[in-house]
Each structure stands twice: as C-alpha cells, then as structure tokens.
Amino acid sequence: MDTSKPAVFVNAELLPMYVGRKVRAVVQVLQSDGVAIKGKSTDDRSLIIKGSLPPFPLSNFVEVIGIVDTNNSIQAEIVTDFGEKFDASTYNRLCQLANGEYKSLFL
Amino acid sequence: MADSITPNAISTIIQNPSPDSSSEAPQIVVQVVDLKPVGNRFTFNASDGKMKLKATLPSNMSSEINLGDLQNLGLIRILDYTLNVLPKTQEKCLIVTKCEVVTTALKIEIGNDVKEEAGIVLKPKNEVGIILKPKQEVVAKSANEILHEQHGNTAPAARMAMTRRVNPLVSLNPYQGNWTIKVRVTNKGTLRSYKNARGEGHVFNVELTDEDGTQIQATMFKEAAEKFYNKFEMGKVYYISRGLLKVANKQFKTVQNDYEMTLNENSEVEEVKGEVTSIPEAKFTFVPIDQLGPYVNGRELVDVIGVVQSVSQSLSIRRKSNNDTIPKRDITIADESKKTVVVSLWNDLATGVGQELLDIADSFPVVAIKSLKVGDFQGVSLSALSRSIVLVNPELPESKKLSSWYNSEGRGASMDSVGSGVISASPKNGLRSMYSDRVSLSHITSNPSLGENKPEYFSVKACVSYIKPDQAMWYRACKQCNKKVTEAIGSGYWCEGCQKNDEECSLRYIMVMKVSDPTGETWLSVFNEQAEKIIGCTADELDKMKQDGDGSSYQLKLKEATWVTHLFRVTVKQNEYMSEKRQRIAVGAQSSIDFVAESRFLLEEISKL
C-alpha cells in the first residue's frame, strides 16, 4: 500500500491516471450490497467501490479513500458518509483544479 | 349637371399631372371625402365615385372649412392643381391650388353603386347665406360618418347623448391631430419656474388617466402653464383637444406611455360636468414586497399595497441643502409574500394621512401607495415623493384580499424584512449582494482615504474574532420609534421624538466587534438587527444573562459567537474624531455562509486569476 503520498482528489475521468495510487473520490450511492458499492461519480459516470463495507443509504453521498484498482474501480480503505446534501458540481471542479493548474498545491 | 361630380375626374387628373393654364384645366368637380386638418391646412381624398386620390387643399380654403362652407362629403370644383408623386411611397398626391365650393356637403359618399339621380341629395345650404350652425354640430356631423364607418351602426340614442366624440388615450399619436380625450387629472405637479438659454417661464405637468386606465403625462409651458394651472384640478375630469404629442423622453418618464403630451395656448381644456364615474380614480400596478429587489436604486417608481403593521411617530428631519426641517413618518407594511418593508412618508403625507394611519394602526388597515421611490436603506426601503398618492383601506379587490389574508394567517405570522440578508445572483439589478464588490479586509484598512467624500460599499467574508465583554453594547430605546430615550425625572423614560414618557424601554444593540480574515483584522460597528443574528439573542436577553449570577452564561454566549464566519455588507465612511480622520466601517447587512453559493463564487474568482 502506497501511503507516502496524499490521496488525490479524483472523479471518474481522472481515475485511470492513478491506477495503483491512493485516491479519494465522492460518489453517490446507486447500489450497495455487502460486497461492493456501485456509485455515480461527480462527473456522472459509474464507479465500483470494492471491499466488505456496511450498507450505505441509497442516494447518499460517500467519500471513498483507497487504492485505484482498475480504470473504474477503487479498493476502499475508508468510506465516510457525507449525507444527502452535497454539491457534486463544485467537487468536480475541485478535482479538475487539483489535478490541473493547481496540482502543486495538492501533491 | 354642373353641380355633380365630373365622371372619371381622377383618371383625368392623373393623365394630366400639370395643366399649363386655367384655360386647359377641365374644371373638374370632385367630392371631398376623409377631410381632416393637418396643422392649419386640410387634407382629403378626392373622389369621383370610382377612384380616390390623396389630396390637399390650399390654405385659403381653410377658413371656408372652418366656417362650415365646405364640409366632408362636399363638392369642389378644381380650378388649378398639380399632381405630385410622394418620394417615399411613390403615391400620387393632388395639390389643389385653386378651387371653389360647389356643394357644402352631400349626405353620402358617392360610390359606384349609386345612381346619379337617386344618390345625390343636395342640402339647401350651398350659398353664402348659410346659417352658421354652432361648430359643435359641424364636428358631430362628419364625426357621425366616421363613426359609422368605424363602429357600424351606433344606436341613435347613444348618438344623441354623445355631444363629443372621444378618443381613447391609447389611440393618440403624433401624426393625427384631430382628437378629443376625456380624462381625469390623477396627479398635478407644482408650478415651477425655469430659466434657460431661450428665456424663462413657468412649467407644470399633470398626469391624465382615461376610461381604459391608460395614462399620459401632459406638460404646459409659459402662457399655457399660466392659463391651465388653475383650470386643472386634481381628481376632476376634462375634455382636452389640440394637444401636441411626441415620443416620451425615457429619462423623465413617470407613466407607462410611449408618448407624452404638450398643451399650448391653442389647446382646449373643458371641465366635464356629470358623467365622470367611468374614469377610474387612480390606476395602480402593485409590486409584491418580496419582488421589490430589482427596483432598488432604479428610476422606476413602484406602487405597493400592504397591511400596516406599525406607524412611527412623526420625526423631524433636517434637510442638508437648506436646513429646512421636514416632518417624516415611517410605516411598516406587510403583504402576502410574508415580507415587510418600511415606507417613509414626508411633509403633508407624514402629517396628514400618516397621522390618520397612526390613529387607526390597531385595526391593521390596508394602505395602497402609488409612485414610491425604491432605495437601499436596510436592503430595500420605500420613500414617498410629492406625487405619491396614499389610499387608506381602498375599494380595490387587492385590498379585500389582503385584509382576509391578514386576518387568517398574516396576523400571527413572523415576517422578515425584505431587505435583510439579501443575496441575489446578479449585481446588475442594483441590489447589492454579498457577492458583489467583494474585498478583503486589508483592501479597506490599507486605504485610509476610502469613504472620504461619500460612503463606499463592499461585501466581506470575515470571522468574528473578539467581542469585548465590557463595552457598552446597547442603548435604551423608545419602544415605538427606536430612538434613544433618557431617564425621566421620577420613573420611566422620556422619548424626545415621541414627546412622551414610557415606563419601559427596550435595549437595542450598538456595539463594535473585531473581525478577521486571511488578510488582516479590523473593528466593525454593528447595529441591532445584525448583532441579534451574530450573538443569537436580543439585547434585552443578553442583558439579563449579564445580570444573572456570575454572568458566566453571558460570557459563554459571547464566546459562542466568536470564531464564526459571516458575510457582511459594509459601509466605509470617514469620521472626524478629535480633529483626526478615522475610518469607520459599519455593518449594513449580514448573512451566514451558504457553502454552495460561496464555493461557486470562489470558483468564479479562481477562473479569473
């Protein structure tokens, strides 16, 4: 597990850039069984969150911190319930800025 | 035969656009139809029963027409003419330069389907020795025909009753001068004197409303002003004709009309006695209180209607320009939007209807006010002008609706002032928002000359960093007018504004708080409404906590208010204190942070970097 570097703010589009790296992403819960969570990323794509996790309420937002498994899945280590009210578009902008112009501020 | 229309007269004229001399001119007889005055000449359509031609009469005919010797549907013999082509429209126009009256007026317009013998009925007045009937009838006669064309069959009874043809205000335009309107004076301005490069004189204007509710402003200058100033009385109805119409100057527009009218010495104004109830007293277009935002600091005047929640005492305000003292009264009104707003009444409105409202305030009357200026004091404020009209419990459907709403739910509901905590998406509409003119604290503190001449306004995001526990946080205020009261000899408190004693007073916050942001820190002056929100309780409640026991709940309350970030709308002014200029920053409005909106604002700022 790569713990030396901080978790990168990602959305579905940026995820493939960090395979094997620790990332954090916020998804809206679409499906939750004990094995995996299917979530909608902040840029409206589907992501799989793996790991044995407690079920989260549907359509709540959760933050996932973990290692990127494949282009569209994360092996979760920490999952936090962010509740029902969350502005996805602002978070999405944050991901774009944090990986673009202002990357140096974050990594 | 000489007394009838020349057959094919029009085509003859068209074929002969400019006859050389009168000997060649065939002396054509045509019928005059659609006769109308344009300035001091007359235009008409020359008809030969088959064709018509646009035409004008020489100015020497005008007097004959005015005397009634030639009327619409009369016959003229054209002695000399020219046929022109109008450059813009390529229309042919017959300029009659010499003619004589053949017949004053026929009963009908000669058309194709009328047989020559049957149709023409010559009225026995085609000689000079005509009895001059009063001009009124002459007008009515041609009016009848025109009306007939426009409206089909008018009932004879109605025609008899109508001594005047009246045009609706909405039909007036600068290109048609022959109109009469029947209007009520819904506003009368003061007679002002002016002096400009062209000379000096007097001017005043009136606002006129007709049956349909259309309004127009009429202005009178110099002699006309003097002539009509005493004639026009507020609320009375008049027939007006011979005014001049022109496109309204949008800068000075006060009523909804593309045109405005000027009356001069030739204009006619006649008071109407009798049939006046069809014309409404005043036309209102009410703006709900919660929609006043876009009008703030704009030029457009608004009308409002609301239930009176409170009426202040009459206050005296000193006018800065000439040191006059003017009476002022503030009334707070509420409407179904569950918002309240303060309306300032001045002068006669303050002392007259304002006093009336104070007397009946307990009955929560409905008040409708026309022509208010919208200001930004405390977010949104309304101020009366000399032209404002205040109606108490008016006979309007909106009034009844308001009354019943207030009695059922409004009375108990807690309502916010429309101006408090205003946040709007666009700073363009004049409403100062928490997202316009956003600056850092250092921007204000590093520039000591800010607000030197006139106050400057900004919004800031800052965190309350320190509230001094032992400052004077409040003043004793009159329960009615919120002005400072002094302890009366004996017991109770004396209010200078209300001129009376009260056993009780309320405490209102007036304090300073230290605030910080990433760029620096400063002191802000905070007043009652905002302090209540920041601290979380009223001054009365906080005072109680201070007195209670060891005052630890008081300290706790202040502590809880510290390190909370707010958005403030501030005013920066210069104060002179002991011959030293000091910058004073006062809070006009406060709101807590809406994270989504704030994030969006920040993202926008980032994109501008």
- How far apart CA B128 and CA B251 sit, in angstroms, is 53
For B82, the token pair is: 């020219």
Give B-chain residues touching A95 at CB under 8 angstroms.
none
Q: Tell me the average confidence (pLDDT) per consecutive run of 10 residues in chain B, 609 residues long.
A: 74 79 68 84 87 86 82 87 81 86 82 46 45 45 50 43 71 85 85 83 87 85 87 87 85 76 89 71 79 78 90 82 83 88 88 86 89 84 85 85 86 74 38 74 90 87 94 90 87 86 91 95 94 93 89 92 94 85 90 87 85
Q: For B545, phi and psi rounded to 5 degrees?
A: -65, -35
For B490, the token pair is: 């004996």
**pLDDT for residue B127:** 43
Identify each DSSP E strand in B393-505 by its residue range. 416-417, 456-466, 474-477, 485-487, 493-495, 500-502
Q: pTM for this one?
A: 0.43
Most B-contacting residue of A85, A87, A96, A101 (CB-CB within 10 A), to test interface:
A87
- How far apart CA B226 and CA B204 sit, in angstroms, is 9
Asked if B3 and B103 count as a contact pair (C-beta separation under 8 A), the reply is yes
Of residues B360, B436, B369, B364, the one with CA closest to residue B405: B364
- How far apart CA B448 and CA B581 sit, in angstroms, is 9
If one counts every other C-beta atom within 10 angstroms of the C-beta of residue B282, the result is 20
Of residues B443, B429, B462, the one with CA closest to residue B592: B462
ipTM given for this complex: 0.89
Largest Cα–Cα separation, chain A: 38
Q: Which long-range contacts link B286-290 to residues 24+ away (Cβ below 8 Å)?
A: B286/B368, B286/B398, B288/B335, B288/B336, B288/B337, B289/B333, B289/B334, B289/B335, B289/B337, B289/B339, B289/B340, B289/B341, B289/B418, B290/B337, B290/B338, B290/B339, B290/B418
Which residues on adjacent β-strands are paired with residue A8?
A: A23
For B324, the token pair is: 């006059």
Dihedral (CA of B566, B569, B574, B578) sign = negative
- How far apart CA B188 and CA B562 sit, in angstroms, is 56
Asked if B530 and B589 count as a contact pair (C-beta separation under 8 A), the reply is yes
User: How many CB pairs below 8 A link A and B?
Assistant: 9
For tokens 């026009």, the residue is B232
Q: How far is CA B429 from CA B299, B384, B425, B432, in A?
A: 12, 21, 9, 8
Q: Closest Cα of chain B to A75: distance in Å?
A: 30
For B274, the token pair is: 């009798």
Give A-chain residues touching B606 at CB under 8 angstroms.
97
**pLDDT for residue A3:** 56
Q: For B79, phi and psi rounded to 5 degrees?
A: -95, -30
**pLDDT for residue B388:** 83
3-state SS string over B492-529?
Answer: CEEECCCCEEECCCEEEEEEEEEEEECCEEEEEEEEHH
Most A-contacting residue of B604, B606, B608 (CB-CB within 10 A), to test interface:
B606
With a CB cutoff of 8 Å and minimum separation 6, the contacts of B496 are: B483, B485, B486
**pLDDT for residue B163:** 56
Q: Does A5 touch chain B (CB under 8 A)?
A: no
Q: Does A93 touch chain B (CB under 8 A)?
A: yes
For tokens 């010499």, the residue is B98
If one counts every other C-beta atom within 10 angstroms of the C-beta of residue B534, the result is 22
Instruction: For B182-216, give one letter per residue: b (16+ CB within 10 A) or e.
Output: bbbbbbbbeeeeeeeeeeebbbbbbbbbbbeebbb
Q: CA triplet B172, B178, B180: central angle to 5 degrees? A: 65
Asked if B470 and B574 count as a contact pair (C-beta separation under 8 A), the reply is no
Residues of chain A under the 50 pLDDT cut: none
Q: CA triplet B341, B345, B349: central angle to 5 degrees? A: 140
Q: Closest Cα of chain B to A92: distance in Å?
A: 11
Asked if B189 and B204 count as a contact pair (C-beta separation under 8 A), the reply is yes
Strands B52-56 and B41-47: antiparallel
C-alpha A40, offset from chain centre: 10
Q: Closest Cα of chain A to B557: distance in Å?
A: 29
Q: Does A87 touch chain B (CB under 8 A)?
A: yes
- The residue of chain A nearest to residue B600, with distances taken between CA atoms, is A90
Residue B281 DSSP SS3: coil
Q: CA triplet B227, B232, B233: central angle to 5 degrees? A: 145
Asked if A19 and A10 count as a contact pair (C-beta separation under 8 A), the reply is no
A87/B603 CB distance under 8 A: no
**pLDDT for residue B281:** 63
Most A-contacting residue of B593, B598, B600 (CB-CB within 10 A), to test interface:
B600
DSSP output for A49-103: EES------TT-EEEEEEEEEETTEEEEEEEEEEES---HHHHHHHHHHHHTTTH
- How far apart CA B231 and CA B188 sit, in angstroms, is 11
Q: Does B596 touch chain A (CB under 8 A)?
A: yes
List the end-to-end C-alpha distance of chain B, in Å, as a whole number. Answer: 93
**pLDDT for residue B424:** 41
For A97, the closest of B595, B600, B606 (CB atoms) is B606
Of residues B12, B20, B91, the one with CA closest to residue B54: B91
Identify each DSSP E strand in B190-236 by its residue range. 192-196, 199-209, 215-221
List the end-to-end C-alpha distance of chain A, in Å, as a whole number. Answer: 17
